[in-house]
């Protein structure tokens, strides 16, 4: 399959949505879809869909459209969902436990095999079958268990120090839930989840909607 | 303060980052900052910063830059963080509990006062001081407690039904964590958190980085 280099991050960020909609179509038994039909469903223009997918080779066929199963399989491959990574969640609090226990991540090839914390009361425990390891011994543990992915769920003041420790343990990827920007070496892949930012955007539009309704807030 | 109508969503989505960096500057005791200095810090161009903020009135002063505290206060107001909303988390699982227990959301004016679930074993319990109410009686509970915000943490197959129930209870805003697109009436504000999408993007860049390193994956 041909693939253009330097596909823009904006395009990459749209791929999971294509993948999600294709999965829904498969569940509904739909076998093929035109870019026009796909457009009406997903809310991107047909031309954008064609452009986006052309970055990775042409999947559609003139007069036929896209084969749903084939396209989903291709997108899974492009997204690297066939790969397997061992991961550790740093921070065994509520969010860390929620993430470590969420089955959906396994479908993406991320196997969370442990949590790490500094709290002596937590270290050595098992949470939903996963051990809580001593944060200070994390680099050693990561190397022993071939863990390449770290998921950061600690408070923002500790996030940078945690990322250093993860990289010391050989992390090639970090998924950061702490509401702060961390710095990592260029070869380490960093993806941030900004729950606060998302809530602030909700807050903005709520305020705008309230103003439109002309209501005064309680 | 002058304010242009129809500020683009792209600009709105940048505002929380400005707000976050301004908060960090305040913590560090920085009183004023030029758009050039702010640019170096936040990674947007100085001209973009000026453009973004000009949508809401001009906050900078020629030769002075921005007053950090004033700008932070203005952005808080623009984002509606001074407002107060009562919220309910639907789905009392791990993610729902993590969200209901996260203090950061109160700073944004969202007071989570209850969780809702269909599980008889959960209904009537208290989780971290918050009651778990019967999902089927949620509209009544929402009206009695002036709850306008619903946070959806149920599996994707149930998300749409949950949103109907929330709207029945008078919800004006929905924060959706279910990995699916839900439909809401135009006057209801919907913000999605796409944890799976974020993880898929991480997966993509990990695959790309692995390919660059020329390693074969285990």
Chain A: closest CA distance from residue B173 (Å): 7
Please state the separation of Cα B62 from the chain's center in Å.
33
Tokens representing A124? Answer: 């050595």
**Any chain A CB within 8 A of the CB of B111?**
no
Q: Which residues of A touch B187 (CB under 8 A)?
A: 209, 213
**Any chain B CB within 8 A of the CB of A173?**
yes
Q: Which residues of B touch A166 (CB under 8 A)?
A: none
What residues contact residue A69 under an 8 Å CB cut-off, 6+ apart?
A: A26, A31
pLDDT value of position B213: 83
pLDDT at B216 over 60: no
What are the Cα distances from residue B24, in Å, to A157, B21, B74?
11, 5, 16
Among A119, A28, A89, A29, smallest CA distance to B94 is for A89
Tokens representing A133? Answer: 């390891």
What are the Cα distances from residue A192, in Å, to A103, A195, B198?
20, 9, 8
Chain B: closest CA distance from residue A167 (Å): 14
Chain B: closest CA distance from residue A65 (Å): 23
**Mean predicted lDDT score pLDDT of chain B:** 92
**Any chain B CB within 8 A of the CB of A206?**
yes
Instruction: Identify the bridge partners of residue B137 per DSSP, sorted by sequence position.
Output: none
CA B100 to CA A129: how far, in whole Å? 24
Q: How would residue B4 be classed by pLDDT, with cut points 50, 70 and 90?
A: low
Across the interface, do A206 and B80 touch by the CB < 8 Å criterion?
Answer: yes
Chain B: closest CA distance from residue A128 (Å): 11
Work out how many CB contacts closer than 8 A connect A with B.
Answer: 180
Q: Which residues of A touch B211 (CB under 8 A)?
A: none
pLDDT value of position A218: 45
| pLDDT per residue as tens digits for the range B150-184 | 999 999 999 999 999 999 999 999 999 999 999 99
CA B34 to CA B9: how far, in whole Å? 25
**Burial class of residue B23, CB neighbours in 10 A (0-12, 13-18, 19+):** middle
| pLDDT per residue as tens digits for the range A63-77 | 788 999 999 999 999
Domains of chain A by start residue, with CATH? 9-78 (1.10.10.10), 85-197 (3.40.50.720)
The answer to whether A10 and B169 have CB atoms below 8 angstroms apart is no
pLDDT at B215 over 60: no
Looking at residues B195-214, what average pLDDT do you find? Answer: 92
Nearest Cβ partner for B94 among A13, A78, A101: A101
Nearest Cβ partner for A193 among B94, B108, B198: B198
A contact test, residue of B98, B184, B199, B214 with most A CBs within 10 A: B199
| pLDDT per residue as tens digits for the range B67-87 | 999 999 999 999 999 999 999
Q: Which residues of A touch B94 (CB under 8 A)?
A: 94, 97-98, 101-102
CA B37 to CA A132: how far, in whole Å? 42
pLDDT at B43 over 50: yes
Interfacial A residues in 36-65 facing B (CB < 8 Å): none
| pLDDT per residue as tens digits for the range A164-208 | 999 999 999 999 999 999 999 999 999 999 999 999 999 999 999
**Any chain A CB within 8 A of the CB of B11?**
no
- Phi, psi for residue A27 in degrees, rounded to 5: -55, -35
Q: Which residues of A touch B206 (CB under 8 A)?
A: 80, 83, 85, 149, 172-173, 189
pLDDT value of position A113: 96
């Amino acid at each position: 399959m041909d693939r253009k280099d330097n596909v823009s991050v904006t395009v990459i960020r749209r791929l999971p949505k294509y993948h999600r909609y294709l999965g829904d179509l498969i569940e509904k038994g739909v076998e093929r879809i035109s870019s026009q039909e796909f457009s009406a469903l997903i809310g991107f223009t047909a031309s954008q869909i064609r452009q986006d997918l052309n970055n990775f080779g042409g999947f559609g066929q003139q007069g036929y459209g896209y084969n749903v199963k084939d396209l989903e399989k291709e997108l899974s491959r492009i997204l690297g969902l066939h790969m397997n990574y061992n991961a550790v969640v740093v921070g065994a609090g509520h969010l860390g436990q929620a993430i470590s226990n969420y089955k959906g991540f396994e479908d993406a090839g991320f196997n969370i095999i442990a949590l790490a914390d500094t709290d002596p009361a937590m270290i050595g425990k098992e949470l939903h079958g996963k051990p809580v390891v001593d944060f200070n011994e994390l680099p050693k543990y990561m190397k022993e268990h071939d863990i390449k992915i770290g998921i950061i769920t600690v408070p923002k003041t500790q996030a940078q120090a945690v990322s250093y420790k993860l990289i010391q343990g050989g992390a090639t990827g970090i998924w950061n839930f702490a509401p702060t920007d961390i710095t990592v070496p260029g070869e380490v892949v960093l993806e941030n989840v900004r729950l606060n930012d998302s809530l602030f955007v909700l807050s903005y539009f709520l305020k705008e909607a309230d103003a439109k309704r002309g209501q005064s807030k309680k």
